[in-house]
Amino acid sequence: MAVVEAVKMLGVANNGRVYAIADYSAGSVDEMSFSAGDQLTIIHKGDDKETAWWWARRPDGTEGYVPQNLLTVSHLCHDDELLSLHIF
């Protein structure tokens, strides 16, 4: 149950701030490329028909669709180790 709640909070907690867990190269003009560790802010999480792609904004103001399965509420350490989200 706690894992389900944590997933629901992705893109909501921390004022919508999330971090990329892997590099992604945009496949179309409305998608946004990013690198592992990049900070994004979720603007819109989709709807009942589309849950896999979310509208996000980079700190430089660039916006586009991003695949939600490559996002986390954690961030990368300087040595590129992923900090884990501990759920109790």
The domain limits of the chain are: 2-72
**Residue 3 pLDDT:** 47
* β-sheet bridge partners, residue 19: 39, 72
The pLDDT score that the predictor gives to residue 50 is 72
| Other beta carbons less than 10 A from residue 46's beta carbon | 15
Per-residue pLDDT band at 38 (split at 50, 70, 90): very high
Q: What is the CATH number of domain 2-72?
A: 2.30.30.40
CB 71 within 8 A of CB 18: yes
Strands (E), the chain: 17-20, 39-44, 53-57, 63-67, 71-72
The phi and psi torsions of 34 (rounded to 5 degrees) equal -155, 165
Residue range 66-83, pLDDT digits in tens: 999 898 886 654 444 444
Q: Give pLDDT tens digits for 20-33.
A: 989 999 999 999 99
pLDDT for res 23: 95
